Amino acid sequence: MFTSFFLKMLNREAASSKNESERIIESLRIQEGYRIADIGSGGGYFTLKFAKKIGKTGKVYAVDSQPKYLDFIRQQAEREGLDNIIFVLVAEDEVNLPEAALDLVFARNVFHHLTEPARYFRNLKRFLKPSGKLAIIDHKPKSGFSFVSIFRHYTPERLILQEMEKAGYFLMESLDFLPEQTFNLFGVK
Ligand SMILES: C[S@@+](CC[C@H](N)C(=O)[O-])C[C@H]1O[C@@H](n2cnc3c(N)ncnc32)[C@H](O)[C@@H]1O
């Protein structure tokens, strides 16, 4: 009950106009047949959008550490008749995906949850195709009274860039249209 309430809240946040989900998806230049991992898929807002965009020949891997969150997305996918989503449960930061298969790894509002982000993203490198890219969106630091500031659900951008360099990625593009988040695209070095 609480899980469903919380995930609907996450999805509402992702859908709100200030968070520019359509512009995010456009910037990723997703094509039919793409294979995409949505890391920390939460309530599945982006998982479901990706699944519709890539069509029957593509695949989305919804990756999360919470089995109930994956169940929530599975139910939604069934309701919408989407059968191109694979559900991947992460235990102790060990992600298992097909090797050299992914066109895109997408991680929105997840970076600040990771205890060792450089290690986590270094492990994901082997799942990307050589031409593949990795997108990280996270909250900008915030002060004052808000959910993001009180629970420190943010990461300074320079820390993201530093950790991704350590993990063996290069910065392809920084996009600055999101008012409250940073958005960076990386390739594998
Ligand atoms: C703030 S939510 C973001 C959800 C979604 N990406 C969005 O933008 O709405 C963070 C998600 O990351 C997941 N998560 C936390 N640690 C994780 C890990 N080590 N591996 C995969 N997912 C993780 C949480 O369970 C949660 O679903």
Q: Concatenated DSSP letters for 34-62?
A: -EEEEET-TT-HHHHHHHHHH-TT-EEEE
- In tens, the pLDDT along 86-119 reads 999 999 889 999 999 999 999 999 999 999 999 9
- Look up the CATH number of domain 2-8+21-188: 3.40.50.150
Residue 142 has pLDDT above 80, yes or no: no
- Say how far apart CA 50 and CA 68 lie, in whole Å: 20
The overall pTM is greater than 0.85 = yes
Distance 174 CA to ligand 1 centre (A): 22
- In tens, the pLDDT along 59-79 reads 999 999 999 999 999 999 999
Atom of ligand 1 nearest to the CA of 11: 9
Atom of ligand 1 nearest to the CA of 42: 27
- In tens, the pLDDT along 15-53 reads 999 999 999 999 999 999 999 999 999 999 999 999 999
